Structure 1
Amino acid sequence: MANEYDLVILGGGTGGYVAAIKAAQYGQKVAIVEQGKLGGTCLHKGCIPSKALLRSAEVYAQAKEANEFGIQLEGIGFDFNKVQERKNRIIEQLHQGITALIKKGKIDVYEGKGRILGPSIFSPRPGTISVEMNDQSENQMLLPENIIIATGSSPRTLAGIEVDGDYIINSDHALELEELPKTIIIVGGGVIGVEWASLLADFGVEVTIVEYGDSILPQLDQDIRKEATKLLKKKGISIMTNFQLQSNDVTIQDNQVHARGSLNGQSTELVAEKMLMSVGRRANVDDIGLVNTEIEVADGFIQVNDRYQTKESHIYAIGDVIGGLQLAHVASHEGMLAVNHIVGKEIEQLNELTVATCIYSRPEIASVGLTEEKAIELGYSINVGKFPFQANGKALVHGEASGFIKVITNKDNRDLLGVHMIGPHVTDLISEAALAKYLDAADIEIQEMIHPHPTLSEVFGEAALATEGKAIHI
């Protein structure tokens, strides 16, 4: 006997549970199939735990600088067990909150592994879902009108390098460390690698980033990349770009990781207590029954149309599993758009150029819209304005005045093309820029908005003025 639903969602992460709540608000009968815990990777193995650790590292680093504020502290140290305990308390509090929201929405949760079955006695089309329950009870059969696949992603590794969870680890393992290593090699200079490098360096770990490309954070604006590299090196992080690492060059000897690679054509060996693999994430598409459907997978990601429908029109997919911007807030938005389409609402296609991206290193980095390089490549005639935090009163008061904001506008009509920030609390400041981009604002509107003083947000207005060479405080 199959349990019937209007919508069944495979995956209870940020995309999945938000979609479930949205559907329940429309009066849909909804179920979530989740093999782990509600909240998924973001809550349990990604966004929240890593930011909790980053905050503890930031507080520790700031405490060591307390004398600059006239505060005398003695014997500054940290208890990593308590750091981890705080992280776990935050996760549990948020998990309980999500569980309460799911209960409020009368959403059924099946704790187990869900697989999509082909046409059967229950349905003439693919879509019956068999759930292998975690408690090893009898498999549950779910019969939905529609399905959303929101199974997320998992850390990648390089071919031939075995992630053993001890010497060679990924971000999942790093979150559960019982003690910090003295030295670590981080393979990959993307967002996750840079966040971990910043966190560990603030805790006093000797960090080396090795990056295959010619720059860390290659997706960012060139000025931001240069500033990030400079400020991370200032923290004592060693950054090696154009580093060619081969799988057979990584060995464990004398309880240490030995990594031999080619750096600018010369053989180089690095030795550390641990190696963190941070080379991107792969979609969780294995063993969820896609072979029983006409759903297409390309480059490891499920293919969807602009309404998030797969080749099977009643089966949708959202979040990391479809590629694109692999961000929690994007997955949530895609989930709501998919649900809106399911219930017959008109939807506005997501525009990635209006989506803010954030990196929670110290200093923080955030951006929205086109980089300067991309704007030029697309043929725009541009104006560029930059304003440093060093000229901002609030930044000086906080003792965090490194970095700047960069505003790129269309010279022809003054429309905002992109905003890029590096410095204090820019992951919060970016929302104003994202709203301006979403509303297709012009630089004049940002210039004429009265930003309160003293605030960090003043740099946005100043940078907008700087696009015309009219900044006030530089």
Structure 2
Amino acid sequence: MANSYDIIVIGSGPGGYVTAIRAAQLGFKTAIIERSHLGGICLNWGCIPTKALLRSAEIYHYFQHAKDYGLSADNVRFDAKAVVERSRGVSKQLNTGVGFLLKKNKVDVIWGEATIDAPGSITISATPDAPKGALGGGTYKAKHIIIATGARPRVLPGLEPDKKLVWTYFEAMVPPAIPKSLLVVGSGAIGIEFASFYRTMGAEVTVVEVLPQILPAEDAEIADLARKRFEKQGIKVLTGTKVTKLDKGADSVTATLETPKGPQTITVDRVISAVGVVGNIENLGLEKLGVKTDRGTIVTDGLGRTNVPGIYAIGDVAGPPMLAHKAEHEGTLTVEAIKGLPVHALEKTRIPGCTYCHPQIASVGLTEAKAKEAGYDIRVGRFPFVGNGKAIALGEPEGLVKTIFEKSTGRLLGAHLIGAEVTELIQGFVIALNLETTEQELIDAVFPHPTLSETIHESVLDAYGRAIHI
């Protein structure tokens, strides 16, 4: 049958398209369903375009500090429209690339919205975004249906976005102009990245976090260092604070805040709501099928399998951590398990997290607090960037690498970094964790000089009383 497949993937974000390509590589007749744009939120409205914006901000920052490098750059300014256009252009290029990869791997793309009628059967409602002549509405059959529908911004009562004064990340990525003042509600990766971008571009930024620590998922020591750096840059940070009311004016918003010191108000041009995301589980037919969900996401067994045979879920819609690279790996494991290959469930503690603010933040494994909670007797190593020659030469001496080991075995439990390019450095620790590395392998490894990677080595040495450059 023309409309019959081995595997159909619903959603073409990073998890979905990677899953479909891997399925095709394994010999499955594969199709992917998309309602609006290939590449999903990450490529079109998340990971990729925000990094393009942050890159523009980074270069603008260096222009502003040219004299620190013995250079001169006069009358430095930016064009907000051009900055946004560059970001959208990067997304468009990668969007086109996803289409090419799917075609290359002979994955059929079906345009429309999917409803699962029963295990093995999907009805597609056509959407106006479908390219001319593309596969669209109808009934399709598949032995295995993989849900990869991603997530959307969480909306809290009283913080409903209106696309003009109160933004989600969608509007924050395409501002018609840089607002003079901004309130960011939520200090996770999304909130902090936008706070960093807009502050660098000249906005007065206030970040509000209901918990006592910004970047709540990060190690407390790293989060504290980040807060000090942000405040030094002029970002106002309010922790233990809740937004209780928004009063909208013609072109501004007055927020009422409940702070540890009592209520206060702040008036800003725009508000960004960055209070997390929620899985796209609606209108898929899951309730009728009895697919188990929990707190807005689909419950799976670690290999993508739901409680209903033949139906799987991967990525954001399958629960935290809601990261593109987790979705990709989870999807790959799922189709390899379907194929019967020897795979094991995803080890979520080995998934790195990265925040692309200035300074960058990256981590993997257990925080110091979580390691102690788990009952480990630990050794902790720290190495500051100020002791690293490459960091000083780059003009980026403010940073820290922190490593955590089990004392009795030397097993690496976690690593937490803040500073220049740590989103690239973290992969060394990810590989070490996957290889179940002890301190001895890291100590014996030869790190090139001069590089920022030497901070990894020195942090391990410090955990065992052997650091050289501090």
Q: TM-score range by the shorter chain?
A: over 0.9
Listed as ranges, the matches of 1:210-359 within 5 Å are 210-246=208-244, 249-359=245-355
> Is 1:186 aligned with 2:179?
no
Give the match for residue 121 of structure 1.
none
Measured after TM superposition, the shift of residue 348 of structure 1 is 1.5
Kept in 2: contact 1:110–1:133 (CA 8 A):
no
Amino acid at match of 1:130: T
| Alpha-carbon distance in structure 1 between the residues aligned to 2:152 and 2:136 | 28
Structure 1 stretch 367-376 or stretch 345-354: which is displaced more? Answer: 345-354
Among 449, 452, 456, which residue is 1:460 paired with?
456
Amino acid at match of 2:122: I
| Alpha-carbon distance in structure 2 between the residues aligned to 1:444 and 1:161 | 51
Measured after TM superposition, the shift of residue 160 of structure 1 is 3.2
Kept in 2: contact 1:257–1:274 (CA 8 A):
yes
Measured after TM superposition, the shift of residue 134 of structure 1 is 1.4
Listed as ranges, the matches of 1:171-182 within 5 Å are 171-182=169-180
Give structure 1 stretches of 5+ with no counterpart.
119-125
**Deviations 1:55-95 (CA, angstroms, capped at 9, x unpaired):** 10011011111101110111111111111121122111111
Kept in 2: contact 1:5–1:29 (CA 8 A):
yes
| Alpha-carbon distance in structure 1 between the residues aligned to 2:239 and 2:157 | 20
Kept in 2: contact 1:215–1:225 (CA 8 A):
yes
**Deviations 1:21-41 (CA, angstroms, capped at 9, x unpaired):** 001001111111101111001
Amino acid at match of 2:354: C
SS at match of 1:33: strand
Measured after TM superposition, the shift of residue 254 of structure 1 is 4.1
| Count, aligned residues | 465
Give the alignment's TM-score, normalised by structure 1. 0.96
Give the match for residue 469 of structure 1.
465
**Deviations 1:396-415 (CA, angstroms, capped at 9, x unpaired):** 11111111100111110111
Measured after TM superposition, the shift of residue 175 of structure 1 is 1.0
Listed as ranges, the matches of 1:53-64 within 5 Å are 53-64=53-64
Kept in 2: contact 1:169–1:277 (CA 8 A):
yes
SS at match of 1:157: coil
Change (3 A) 1:446 1:141: same
**Deviations 1:287-306 (CA, angstroms, capped at 9, x unpaired):** 11112312011111111112
Give the match for residue 105 of structure 2.
105
| Alpha-carbon distance in structure 2 between the residues aligned to 1:367 and 1:161 | 30
Give the match for residue 7 of structure 2.
7
| Alpha-carbon distance in structure 2 between the residues aligned to 1:254 and 1:306 | 49
| Alpha-carbon distance in structure 2 between the residues aligned to 1:307 and 1:454 | 42
Measured after TM superposition, the shift of residue 110 of structure 1 is 1.1
Kept in 2: contact 1:283–1:320 (CA 8 A):
yes
| Alpha-carbon distance in structure 1 between the residues aligned to 2:124 and 2:439 | 53
| Alpha-carbon distance in structure 1 between the residues aligned to 2:64 and 2:257 | 35
**Deviations 1:115-143 (CA, angstroms, capped at 9, x unpaired):** 1113xxxxxxx331111111499731110
Change (3 A) 1:6 1:138: closer
Give structure 2 stretches of 5+ with no counterpart.
none
Kept in 2: contact 1:13–1:152 (CA 8 A):
yes
Give the match for residue 154 of structure 1.
152
Kept in 1: contact 2:13–2:39 (CA 8 A):
yes
**Deviations 1:358-408 (CA, angstroms, capped at 9, x unpaired):** 110000000111100111111111111100001101001111111110011
> Is 1:423 aligned with 2:394?
no
Kept in 2: contact 1:221–1:371 (CA 8 A):
yes
SS at match of 1:456: coil
**Deviations 1:330-351 (CA, angstroms, capped at 9, x unpaired):** 0000000110111111211111
Give the match for residue 76 of structure 1.
76
Amino acid at match of 1:419: A
Give the match for residue 48 of structure 1.
48
Kept in 1: contact 2:303–2:346 (CA 8 A):
no
Give the alignment's TM-score, normalised by structure 2. 0.97
Measured after TM superposition, the shift of residue 224 of structure 1 is 0.3
SS at match of 1:200: helix
Structure 1 stretch 280-289 or stretch 350-359: which is displaced more? Answer: 350-359
Dislocated runs of 4+, deviation >4 Å: none
Among 121, 126, 135, which residue is 1:128 paired with?
121
SS at match of 2:112: strand
Among 384, 397, 400, which residue is 1:401 paired with?
397
| Alpha-carbon distance in structure 1 between the residues aligned to 2:392 and 2:447 | 17
Structure 1 stretch 329-338 or stretch 89-98: which is displaced more? Answer: 89-98
